Structure 1
């Protein structure tokens, strides 16, 4: 199966349009996304990230100076780094935060193959498609969302009965936070990825998959890639499961 990461399909080039027929092919037959209140948890912690190459991706605040996103968003066509330069949050769109450090697994680089304006992510690289951005100053007045602390097995058991929500800034609504609430994770794969049916478009790479448990919103996954439009009905989107990368994220954060 050809998995096309949103590199300019979700690390979206700001000058590139998304046509209506492309959009309809990339969703699951029906658009279940809705605008949500950016003054409320968990939506206020969702980020829109701009790179030096003028790409746009989504992310989520997980600590006062740390933003989680997808690694392929910050790789250019020559496999060099396309660094983040601006971060805005849904709960404070008028404020710009400057990154000073960017981390993503080196294992990701060799698994990216150019495909037109985007990338195809190999099966071996898919579990490594995460990035962590450090900001020069803490984000005020927005509560970070915690990373899921349980095991992959515990998460898989919960997701058999509970649905997730996903939210980001897709290409057709770059200034509006859209969420697909109550979408299905079909499988927690052995390689550390989640196969899910949340409606995502270019611009949503790096957006969180969120699970409400015990009154707390947990980040359980990071949107990574989607199948080619011709395979939409036969294949799910892929996200990286937090348990599979939790230790690496903690190392980057110095924990």
Structure 2
């Protein structure tokens, strides 16, 4: 069982500099449930990169860098602060692939959150293990007229520049010890990034939150599918965009699209 306590939500709100009235019974904002899933590995059981020494989904990937790739969430009902929920986790699929940066191990993990017998949230997380080497470089954006990102780029936007303190606090709140988020020397010299990397789930959380805020109180986010295309780095401005007519959302930073998403709201036909 997982306690969806008020304090966890208030700490995330403080991390994001949000003024919210959070109390028992308040509906949890979309994707905030991630702060309640803490790995319990001891410090001495962490790899050099900060991830737990737990068995990787494939033997070849046991020491490969791990990153959050994409996800799909479907809410059947709201999660509310103060609840005790049942959480179930299972590995649905594991595939070895070859990408632009080399070999990859792609793992789909299913999460189910329930209140007694009532299913509240179904989620599929795709975690990618990358063969060690240079960090992958994003290709320049070449959106087509049929690409939902094209309409998104002209939509209302919100700009945010992440700072070191924000990334450290989110790492602490989610008990995420991956060093690319708080150790600049490691991120640059070992994993090949130009600076600290913004957490994938933090980008997804802010994207979902911006989409929800753009609709006001008229409807509730019921389905959210996203894909992380490239990293966002500390001290680089990120622009969050949402097109209400198509439900498309994206994040643009340093001249490239770094995340794409599709949103559906209560009252819309499920995909």
Q: TM-score range by the shorter chain?
A: 0.3 to 0.5
Relative to its length, the structure with more strand (as a share) is 1
Q: Specify the structure having the higher radius of gyration (Cα).
A: 2
TM-score w.r.t. length of structure 2: 0.33
Larger RCO of the pair (alpha carbons < 8 Å, separation 6+): 1
